[in-house]
Amino acid sequence: MPRFLNTVVINGSLHRPSRTRVLLDEVTQRIAYDVALQTQFIDLVDLVPSIGTALSKEDLNPAAQQALQRIEQADFLIVGAPVFRGSVPGLFKHLFDLIDMDALTAKPVLLAATGGSARHGLVIDHQLRTLFGFFHALSLPAGVYATSGEIQDGKIASEALTARIELVASLSAPVLHGTLNQQRQHIAERAVA
């Protein structure tokens, strides 16, 4: 019986260190208080040399191919991207252009983003939700957006952001427990058959 959700956290930032990674780390840790996660991280900055020149999966180097495979095989995705000039980085979108069209169907996805100001906060609903809607993924009901002022020196520096992370985690937990229970039921049914 599965005891953990195979979770892949995707950091769409092209920089290291990354405020987006700080946010994703905090969200992942908070969700892990309520739901058992087996977590793997994928940082887009590590894949840039291969992703940037790839027109298909076959063009990717082995590390990038493995990253795509981990995304496609995950039970749960936590996805975050920085916002530049009202949009996510093109290479972040291109990473998902290479994902199999049916691989994310019904997969729960928690969406996160970071940006310089509150002006970009709607990127979660206007871009990320539509991207994962295309894949028929199950975007969780609330995402979390953080401004550069809310993450300082590699740490969450805002009580309001901490409260939003708590809210996102509490809203996500029932869906994730349901996903884990569904997996257990499928395994039990296969064992009986």
DSSP 93-123: HHHHHTS-TTTTTT-EEEEEEEESSGGGTTH
Residue 29: per-residue pLDDT = 98
**C-alpha–C-alpha distance, residues 48 and 71, integer Å:** 16
Nearest to 58 by CA among 50, 46, 49, 48: 50
Q: Does pLDDT of 74 surpass 60?
A: yes
The tokens describing 54, both together, are 């790839």
Across 156-178, average pLDDT: 96
118 pLDDT exceeds 90? no
Instruction: State the Cα–Cα distance between residues 55 and 45, nearest whole angstrom.
Output: 18
Structure token digits, residue 42: 């994928």
CB atoms within 10 A of CB 96: 18
The amino acid at residue 75 is D
Q: Cα separation of 34 and 170, whole Å?
A: 8
State yes or no: pLDDT of 112 exceeds 80.
yes
Please tell me the pTM assigned to this model: 0.94
**Between β-strands 151-152 and 155-156, what pairing exists: parallel, antiparallel or unpaired?**
antiparallel
pLDDT at 185 over 60: yes
Q: What are phi and psi of 2, to 5 degrees?
A: -70, 135
Residue indicated by tokens 């987006």: 20
Domains in the chain: boundaries: 5-192
Q: Which helix (H) or strand (E) holds 76?
A: strand 76-82
pLDDT of 2: 60
Sign, Cα dihedral of 116, 19, 123, 169: negative
Cα torsion 21, 26, 32, 38 to 10°: value is 20
With contact defined as beta carbons under 8 Å apart, do 108 and 78 qualify?
A: no
Averaged over 168-177, what is the pLDDT?
Answer: 95
Considering the domain 5-192, what is its CATH architecture?
Answer: 3-Layer(aba) Sandwich (3.40)
